[in-house]
Structure 1
Amino acid sequence: MDSKQLARKAISLLDLTNLNDDCTDEAIEALCAKAQTPYGNTAAVCVWPRFVKKAGEYLKGTGIKIATVVNFPQGGESLEATLDETVKAIADGADEIDLVIPYKAFLAQRRGFAETMVLRVKAALPETVRLKTILETGELKDPAIIRAASDMAITAGADFIKTSTGKVSVNATPEAAEIMIKAIADSGKPVGFKPAGGVRSLDDAGVYLAIAEKHMGADWASPETFRFGASGVLDALIAVMEGETAEAGEGY
């Protein structure tokens, strides 16, 4: 696949993201407009829960999914608060819920609690709403723990496993991606993968797609099975499509 084919594919797999603390209605309107590119729409936009309804208004009829985050970014331990966030986001029109697992509890050997949160949030979702579980792999660090968290999330019903919030010092890495995609392959379940945080260039995107192809086959990565979580990479991808040289994108 040449660079333009790769860029077009990456655009179609992108969850275009604004999770800035100072995000505004105007920024969401701009994000939703940007998600509709001359080279195809992004797969989704990912926004704070308070902007889900607004994003739905801007994206009506486009086919672009609306993703939002719960228990984000701390991965706290309030199950009821997380469920409340989830139910409200669904009522506001969210198509996808990106749940930060309580990773500190997981690290503290309270893995049953982490599993319970995934199970309860999954149970709160209509069949049409997807659950992406954010493992925060840069904080889990140990490969065996990343694998255990991946297995837990898959077993508990996650539709995607996602590396990171983009809010810690180490976010998506190829090493974590290898572990997580291998867990998906070994499970035999129809679970997707989402690297998030630090995907800023066509080369970055190509690295993660190559890992997916190695473990899952050349035709596996589609919007149903693979997403990039990023804010800054879209400009770089569009520059490739237009035959320009771009600086690596900034942001999440």
Structure 2
Amino acid sequence: MFEDRQYAAKLAISLMDLTSLNDDDNNSEIEMLCQQATTFAGNTAAVCIYPEFISLAKQLLAKDNIAVATVVNFPSGNGQIDMVVSQTNQAIEYGADEIDLVLPYIALTQGNMDTPKAMVEQVKAACGDEVLLKVIIESGVLKETDLIRKASEVAINGGADFIKTSTGKVDINATLPAATTMLEVISVLNPKIGFKAAGGVRTLDDAISYMELAANMLGSGYLSKETFRFGASGLLVNLLSELGFSAQANETDY
């Protein structure tokens, strides 16, 4: 499907949430990230940063049609619902276009479906129709296919616009088997729900594997930024190298 590697690389760039979620991030690094998001091969879909940098990123990307995403209940997923809703409201006030919410996945492993569903519902209510909600299920911790399926169902039934594999802060992040399970749930419940592979996608070959999987399961039209994303940072360097360009990027893994 992707014999033309340059086409595949350009497509992957357009589907990327270029990410920096490091404890020592500062304004200069976020400015560099925003510069990197506009490449010679086209713009990324979004940048994903901590809430305190939203206003800066919005200012820097105002003319570039690049969304600004941020994270809440991150990375542990252990926050109280009212606190997470407050985080969401504040991020939206700062100007966030997209919210990446960590599902209370530990509660789900303990058989508690009510708290995760309630959190997604209330955060989606705060987002409304204007702010995209991506729900991180932390598939590498859930591990079991049944738990990954349940987490995906809870997220979608709660109102998620996207389901996302990982925070990038655990030992196992995106995997093709987990992606397969998540995409299967999407295909059954609502093929308009988006999917985001985050963590461990470092090369064009990695990206092609996920794009082919999604296209085979949901059609080639699914590969648009409205329904498919990569959460990554170092991946951009590899993709630009494939295209004959060079760039610097934060070599973190989200």
Same fold (TM over 0.5): yes
Rounded to whole Å, the distance in 1 between the matches of 2:53 and 2:203 is 27
**Which residue number corresponds to residue 151 of structure 2?**
149
Alpha-carbon distance in 2 for matches of 1:113, 1:79: 8
Partner of 1:85: 87
Name the aligned partner's letter for residue 13 of structure 1: L
Q: Which residue of 2 aligns with 1:171?
A: 173
Aligned to 1:13: 15
1:203 corresponds in structure 2 to: 205
Aligned to 2:252: 251
2:47 is matched with which residue: 45, 48, 51? 45
| 2:123 counterpart of 1:138 | no
Aligned positions of 1:100-111 closer than 5 A: 100-111=102-113
In 2: Cα distance, 1:62 partner to 1:84 partner = 29
**Paired amino acid for 1:56:** K
1:4 aligns with 2:6: yes
Unaligned runs of 5+ in 1: none
Q: Confirm or deny that 1:223 pairs with 2:225.
A: yes
Matched position secondary structure for 2:76: coil
Cα pair 2:20 2:252 within 8 Å, conserved: no
* Cα deviation, residue 188, structure 1: 2.8
| Matched position secondary structure for 1:227 | strand
Name the CA distance, whole Å, in 1 between partners of 2:7 and 2:44: 15
Q: How does 1:14-33 map to 2 (within 5 A)?
A: 14-33=16-35
| Contact 2:191–2:218 (Cα < 8 Å) also in 1 | no
The CA distance in 2 between the partners of 1:234 and 1:143, in whole Å, is 30
Q: What's the TM-score once normalised by structure 2's chain length?
A: 0.96
Report the counterpart of residue 182 of structure 2 in structure 1.
180
Contact map agreement 2:49 2:71 (CA 8 A) in 1: yes
Shift of 1:236: 0.4
Task: State the one-letter code of the partner of 2:252.
Answer: G
| Residue of structure 1 aligned with 2:38, choices 33, 36, 39 | 36
Contact 1:200-1:250 at 8 Å conserved across structures: no
RMSD between superposed Cα atoms in Å: 1.5
Distance 2:35 2:82 in 1: 34
Letter in 2 for 1:34: Q
Gaps of 5+ in 2: none
Q: TM-score, normalised by structure 1?
A: 0.96
- 2:205 & 2:70 partners in 1: Cα distance? 27
State the number of aligned residues.
250
Counterpart amino acid of 1:193?
Answer: F
Deviates more, 1:224-233 or 1:53-62: 53-62
Q: How many Å apart are 1:94 and its aligned residue? A: 0.3
Q: CA deviation at 1:243?
A: 7.4
CA distance, structure 1, for counterparts of residue 126 and residue 33 of structure 2: 28
Alpha-carbon distance between aligned partners in 2 of 1:121 and 1:5, rounded to the nearest angstrom: 36
Q: Distance in 1 between matches of 2:142 and 2:48?
A: 23
Give the letter for the 1:20 counterpart. Answer: N
* Aligned-pair identity (%): 49
Over residues 175-213 of structure 1, what are the superposed CA-to-partner deviations in whole Å (9 max), with x where a residue is unaligned? Answer: 100000111001134100000011100000001001101
CA–CA distance in 2 between the matches of 1:155 and 1:221?
Answer: 22
